[in-house]
Amino acid sequence: MLSDDELMRYSRQLLLPGFEIDGQQALRASRVLVVGCGGLGCPAALYLAGAGVGTLVLADDDQVELANLQRQIAFTDTDRDRPKAQALAERLTALNPGIDARPLTGRLSGEVLDEAVADSTLVLDCTDNFDTRFAINRACVRAGVPLVSGAAVRGEGQVSVFQGHRPESPCYQCLYPDGGGEDLRCSESGVIGPLVGMIGACQAMEAIKVLAGLGQSLTGRLLLLDAWRMEWREMKLGPDPECPVCATVEQQ
């Protein structure tokens, strides 16, 4: 059961038809892994903490830099040179003391990544390079864990949900069968601050929908945003029958 404090804190979403007590309890019982505590990870984690996701595991091996503060809204100037995961965990706990925010300040790779993903109910990919995204995707497919993926650079962003462990659902690798090409990083190509907030908020919304079993997720769909035109486009995605990641796993 929810405490009186929880009933008041989450009252606005408890009023939503179909969400109610069951949805809130589903969030409280969930463990979400957020990989990347920067422009996307900050707004996504803040909204998930505010919504009452019980455990948020925050993974990032970088420190807060001055150039981050233009868009990474969880941090202040006093956080400079601090580990991002630690600073974000403290911000989330200050926002909602009822959730468990756990920082991981080392780089996730290999068995460590596999274990972190396998221990999660859902994963948010808030990273900025293809190698890491592909590694997270492989771990999610192997563990049968839903993946909410976001990306943003310059004035363009994208977001989708991948459940490659399920029949008829693509994984992230299906979207980029040729390896994704050259990485476009914000440090080299630039990015406008509100864009990452929009994509990160979309990731949080998709996570809540999947965790609570509500609405229609972006599984099988890719949303593309041109922020300069404020124009959204949608692409339908299907599984690649020759995908080296999801085509060879036992479907659940």
CATH code of residue 59: 3.40.50.720
Q: What is the model's pLDDT at position 117?
A: 98
Is 234 part of a structural domain of the chain?
Answer: no
Where in the sequence is the domain holding 36, given as residue range(s)?
A: 11-153+183-218
Is 112 part of a structural domain of the chain?
Answer: yes
Q: What is the model's pLDDT at position 92?
A: 98
Q: What is the model's pLDDT at position 188?
A: 79
* Angle, alpha carbons 23-27-30 (nearest 5°): 140
Is 250 part of a structural domain of the chain?
Answer: no
pLDDT, tens digit, for every residue of 150-159? 999 999 999 9
Residues of the chain with pLDDT under 50: 251-252
Total domain count, the chain? 1
Long-range CB contact pairs, 98-102, < 8 A, 24+: 98/5, 98/6, 98/9, 98/52, 99/49, 99/52, 99/53, 99/54, 99/55, 99/56, 100/54, 100/55, 100/56, 101/45, 101/49, 101/56, 101/58, 102/55, 102/56, 102/57, 102/58
Q: What is the model's pLDDT at position 252?
A: 44
Is 239 part of a structural domain of the chain?
Answer: no
Q: What is the model's pLDDT at position 181?
A: 64
pLDDT, tens digit, for every residue of 184-232? 677 778 999 999 999 999 999 999 999 999 999 999 999 999 999 999 9
Is 212 part of a structural domain of the chain?
Answer: yes
Is 111 part of a structural domain of the chain?
Answer: yes
Active site residues: 186
The label of the residue with tokens 């990544």 reads: 113
Is 168 part of a structural domain of the chain?
Answer: no
Is 47 part of a structural domain of the chain?
Answer: yes
- % the chain with pLDDT above 90: 89
